[in-house]
Structure 1
Amino acid sequence: MTTTESDDRAINETNATTLEANLSRIEELTQRLLVAMNPKRHVPTSLQGPSPDLYAKAASAYVTEMMNNPGKIIEQQVAFWGKSVKHYIESQHLLAQGKLAHPVDETAPDRRFAHELWDTNPYFNFIKQQYLMNADAVRDAISAIDTMDDGEKRRLEYFGEQIVDMFSPTNFLATNPEALSLAAETEGESLVAGLENLIRDLEANDGDLVVTLADKEAFEVGRNLATSPGEVVYRNHLFELIQYTPSTEMVHEIPLVIFPPWINKFYILDLKPANSMIKWAVEQGYTVFVVSWVNPDATYRDTSMTNYVEDGYLTAIDQVKSICGVKKVNAVGYCIAGTTLSITMALMAQRGDKSINSATLFTTLTDFSDRGEVGVFLDDDFVDGIEAEVAEAGVLDRYYMSRTFSFLRSNDLIYGPAIKSYMLGKAPPAFDLLYWNGDGTNLPAKMSVEYLRGLCQGDNFATSGFDIADTTVRLSEVTVPICAIACETDHIAAWKSSYRGVQGMGSKDKTFILSESGHIAGIINPPSKKKYGHYTNPELGLTPDDWLADADKHEGSWWPRWDAWLAPRSGKQVKARTPGDKNHPVLGPAPGTYVAK
């Protein structure tokens, strides 16, 4: 026997041993998997998908279309059949000629099919092309329905796309060449690692399959996230107030108080020093306060929007005024916190309270006449389910919020990460933004229903008026200087709706900035990155499309432009303030205790 033959035999024996060990490990893990799936959370049917009525209406509309215009339906079907049969025949013809090749592939680039075998292997290319044909056929069928109202049609298009995405061949091991190749190369080790990742996620979530998006061991709030120096200077049942340590000798007289959304935790504004908006604002010479909201449990079931306004916003503003010895503050509200800040300002206007000198709104909706992509989850079928769930639980559990927002970007936040983790056996990345994304919060029962019914569904603030604190407030009552920043591809707060909300405000001094990118990346866009640009146009009487068509495009972050707007509205320069005062002793270092719950 030659040395080469001996080496090959040894390698084969080693590979066989490795494969056998991996198969044995899979058997052990399968038993653990069955145990992990037992305590699965009960998710009400109403929160698992749209009402069956939507699909019943779609089927009825399709049948009506077929009867009224059979030629159009037949044309669509024949076109789909023709493409599919032609594709099959061409593939068979090449194989009959002994050519290991696929027919001409004119499909558009798609990140899901980036692996080279989708283009070079006839089998996988056939599957890819046929899937994309099927997907187009589904879209064409939905598009052809003309007898559904616009809202139902949009929902059908969205949930139809969800079904199409779910059946992508990349989502199944037998039709994912990257996963199969890696399994062969590693003697099944990648599949074992993937199964371990799957079981870990099930065990961590009581039997629910929630994909871990980021390495949880790589980050710790207060250690390498939310590290800007500061102190907690006030605390009540709803929030901790953090005052940040100045980094300049002089500061603007009027302090800046930031209200983040209580749907998430505040440290999106302070992830790392390089992209921390809080750190940047301190460096521009502002006395910065941030509200860190409590993560409510069932004891908060009766906490209302009025509580958030009075015990949250108004209380925080009063504390900041007292600590700094001033009569006014500049306020910032992000997302739902911007909506509630606007409601607070309308209430303050009725009360004659002029404590807010100017307000900045990040990705804020105040006009809900067009709810954008997230609107598909805001019809009665879902909201009725949420109302029933919170009546029983006392809170809207973070699980439902996280799942809803993930499905708005399912390929990026569900299927893509699941493939990498469960099929390829890869560890989740050390990505701070995804870590924050997975660190969600609950919502109080009463507040969540008031928000969904009165604002998202009823659009009351921009129309008939929103009831708060024993009065009714309207969008037109917001009269302080406003700077609103929206994001071009925001899937949560559509920029055109944000723009229409600013148009409806009564302020004479209004500025609107449109940042490139989405709900998070468009806001957390530090100047040093030189990444996303922004648009400006002082003519706010235009339609959103006309506003953008006539807008000036600027390279780089909008942060310096906001600073140029905010600085003249922030008073004279005074000596920098250390956190707290004699009536507000330091309660502990930033980022506080509420953020850890």
Structure 2
Amino acid sequence: MNERAFPASTVRERDASAWQGTRHPYPDTDVTHAAADLALNAWIGRFTGHVSPAALGLAWFDWCSHLLLSPDKQVELVSHGMTALGRWLQYCAVGAIADAPGPVTPLAQDKRFDDPAWQRWPFNLISQGFLTQQQWWHRATRSVRGMSAHHADVVTFVTRQLLDCAAPSNFVATNPVVLQTTCERGGMNLVAGTLRASGEAWRAARGQAAVPAFRPGREVAVTPGKVVLRNRLMELLRYEPSTPQVHASPLLIVPAWIMKYYILDLSPHNSLVRYLVGQGHTVYMISWKNPRAEDRGMGLHDYRCLGVMEALDAVGRDSGASRVNACGYCLGGTLLAIAAAAMARERDERLASLTLLAAQVDFTEPGELSLFIDESEVSFLEATMWSQGYLDTRQMAGAFQLLRSNDLIWSRRLRHYLLDLPDRETDLMSWNADATRMPFRMHSDYLRRLFLNNDLASARYQVDGKPVALTDIEVPIFAVGTRTDHVAPWRSVYKIGLLSDAEVSFLLTTGGHNAGVVAPPGGAGRSYQLATRAPDAPYIDPERWQQETPPREGSWWPAWTAWLAHQAGPLAAPPPMPPGLGPAPGEYVLAR
């Protein structure tokens, strides 16, 4: 592999300050006195799915003990249970002979009982019985006086997972759609589903991954470009211009390292990179290395220095531009905000603007991911990462699947194994399956310093031994939140306006964490809201902002590129393409 040398100044030894203020019990991962603790926890994690039994035990003890100390809550649950049972029994009498609506309406996102077959007896009674139980258990695990909000969320989540396992839609005998299909096909759907499940289990046991339908450099990540820099942590891609003139200031995109960069360069019709190049922007993209055990010591310091700062140096050399627009997606946006704050502190004025796509800088309200993040769980997870040197792709994928278990686990098994319906794989689905590992040191840094301690928003996060503050950032900021984001909730993304004294344009668009960002023009059902707050304007809370900001139809991409064009300066002839180290998408994106 060709490797371009990088400045020695960026390969500093990691600061001891990186672990200060985190209350981390083992600041040095090589100390011998921690080995027994970590090895035991790593071994236990193999049997618990890397979920801390102590964390779960504490949550359930909190619920049980406070429920026992709350006679009013007990009376409420008994009363509600008797009332719900009475309504269900009354429905049983009516639903057997008439087409009557059930007493419980499923949530909007619950599609398990949408088929008309569920309205026929006895399946209407079965589905309503399940929904009644689900409703009662939700009430039972919420609003218990004295119980911590985090433990309430954990208990509610675990209860929902257990109920989802027992949902009548998962079983042949209680699912009318499966029964009808089985009768029509003479049971061959179950035979085919069993064979498919066996094949998948066999491949998983042998560590064989399914061949994706969309492969980087072939069906996706095909926007023409070259690798202009490669170091031990990332490759920097520069894309070829597709317009006769380009804006003076180039654009550097910092993607998240939890997944491959080509979420922003999918199939040509879904590629944000191709769209930007077509709008006259010179686009650079970081492609992170998929780390292995030997990279265990890589921390956030390395990702900032060898990633963002080296990329900025290379963009300046390659394009000749004195100022660069920077865009960060998800974790890449958080890292970019750290780098921007450090640059502002040092009066480094190379950034012309800052764009944050579904990226959090304040972690007090991180959404459902907080279910997996507390002191007990992070310590337990660190043991697993310590033993491997990294966080495995399957562990991350499992956590995200649990957050949307109905869509990603149970409905998929229903389609695959009971109905024998094959997946219609899309470019986004292939990308989602192409996960990456994360080094032990970096992920521990991220979980402790940002999620647990919220150091960045509190101006305690240290870069080169000194804290950085987001209020130092003076360049215009464009922040994008997505309405149904369960990874970076939009109200959390919105907090950049509270933590920055710069001009902030906030855009809220339809969709989730990924599909909301990958929203090319022409798609149906797209809309967004956009408003800009001047540096001296008063703060507006997110609910009021959402009520007062008028919606606009269509994709948000044109609105952002119009803002970006204003920051990127006049048009001129594109700078010449360098020889490069090879064509895009490079080597790192192909590593497994």
What's the counterpart of residue 390 of structure 2?
Answer: 395
The one-character-per-residue Cα deviations of 1:138-183 (angstroms, maximum 9, x if unpaired) are 1122235222122322333333222222221111233222223222
Aligned to 1:523: 517
Which secondary structure state, in structure 1, belongs to the residue aligned with residue 122 of structure 2?
helix
Unpaired stretches in structure 1, ≥5 consecutive residues: 1-40
What do the CA deviations read for 1:326-351 (whole angstroms, capped 9, x no partner)? 21111100010000000001111222
Output the amino acid matched with 2:300.
Answer: M
1:222-259 CA deviation, whole Å, 9 max, x = no partner?
Answer: 11111111111211111111111111010011111111
Equivalent in 59, 63, 83 of residue 79 of structure 1: 83
CA distance in 1 between counterparts of 2:258 and 2:152 reads 29
Once the 2 structures are TM-superposed, how far is the Cα of residue 306 of structure 1 from its aligned partner?
0.4
Aligned mates of 1:177, 1:442 — CA distance in 2: 41
Larger CA deviation: 316-325 vs 192-201: 192-201
SS at match of 1:317: helix
Q: Does 1:587 align with 2:581?
A: yes
Cα distance in 2 for partners of 1:55, 1:272 equals 46
Separation (CA, whole Å) in 2 of partners of 1:144 and 1:330: 46
Give deviations 1:495-514, integer Å, cap 9, x for gaps: 1111113320232x221111
AA in 2 matched with 1:248: T
> Which residue pairs with 2:573 in the alignment?
575
Amino acid at match of 2:498: Q
Question: Are 1:485 and 2:480 an aligned pair?
Answer: yes
Are the aligned partners of 1:269 and 1:524 in contact in 2 as well (CA < 8 Å)? yes
Which of 236, 242, 250 lines up with 1:247 in the alignment?
A: 242
Separation in 1 of the partners of 2:205 and 2:312? 40
Q: Secondary structure at the match of 2:201?
A: helix
Instruction: Evaluate the alpha carbon distance shift between residue 531 and residue 58 of structure 1 in structure 2; reply closer, same or farther with a 3 A threshold.
Output: same
1:357 alignment partner, SS class: strand
Distance 2:438 2:524 in 1: 36
- Asked if the contact 1:255–1:330 (Cα under 8 Å) also holds between the matched residues in 2, the reply is yes
TM-score, normalising length: structure 2: 0.87
For the residue of structure 2 that corresponds to 1:483, the secondary structure is: strand
Q: Is the 8 A contact 1:334 1:362 kept in 2?
A: yes
Question: How far apart in 1 are the matches of 2:182 and 2:75?
Answer: 48
Aligned match of 2:102: 105
- Per the alignment, residue 133 of structure 2 pairs with 134
In angstroms, what is the RMSD of aligned CA positions?
2.2
Distance 1:115 1:216 in 2: 32
CA distance in 2, matches of 1:542, 1:283: 35
User: For the residues of structure 2 that align with 1:437 and 1:207, how far apart are their CA atoms?
Assistant: 21
Task: Write the distance in 2 (CA, Å) between the matches of 1:48 and 1:84.
Answer: 38
Q: C-alpha separation between the residues in 1 aligned to 2:177 and 2:211?
A: 26
CA deviation after TM superposition for structure 1 residue 320, in Å:
0.8
Question: How far did 1:184 drift?
Answer: 2.7
CA distance in 1, matches of 2:420, 2:174: 17
Whole-Å separation in 1 of the counterparts to 2:262 and 2:252: 14
Deviation at 1:494, TM superposition (A): 1.0
Match of 1:28 in 2: none
Counterpart contact for 1:76–1:141, Cα < 8 Å: no
> CA deviation digits over 1:31-50, x for unaligned, max 9?
xxxxxxxxxx9354652775
Q: Distance in 2 between matches of 1:475 and 1:203?
A: 50
- CA drift at 1:471: 2.7
Does structure 1 conserve the Cα–Cα contact (< 8 Å) formed by 2:88 and 2:103?
no
CA distance in 2, matches of 1:542, 1:130: 44
Where in structure 2 are the equivalents of 1:526-537 lying within 5 Å?
A: 526-537=520-531
Secondary structure at the counterpart of residue 307 of structure 2? helix
Distance 1:353 1:142, change over 3 A: same
- 1:53 matches 2:58: yes
Give a deviation string over 1:425-478, Cα, whole Å, max 9, x none. 222222211111111000000000000000011101111411233332222222
In structure 2, do the counterparts of structure 1 residues 325 and 464 end up closer, same or farther at CA, with 3 Å as the change threshold? closer
Partners in 1 of 2:317 and 2:161 — Cα distance? 51
Instruction: Give the match for residue 21 of structure 1.
Output: none
Residues 203 and 579 (structure 1 numbering): CA distance in 2 closer, same or farther, change over 3 Å? farther
| Partner Cα separation in structure 1 for residue 472 and residue 520 of structure 2 | 33
* Equivalence for 2:506: 512
Q: CA deviation at 1:90?
A: 4.8
Q: Which moved more, 1:302-311 or 1:189-198?
A: 189-198
Question: In the TM superposition, what are the counterparts of 1:6-21 in structure 2 within 5 Å?
Answer: none
Larger radius of gyration: 1
TM-score, normalising length from structure 1? 0.86
2:548 to 550, 558, 567: 550
Q: Please give the alpha-carbon distance, in whole angstroms, between the structure 1 residues aligned to 2:135 and 2:560.
A: 43
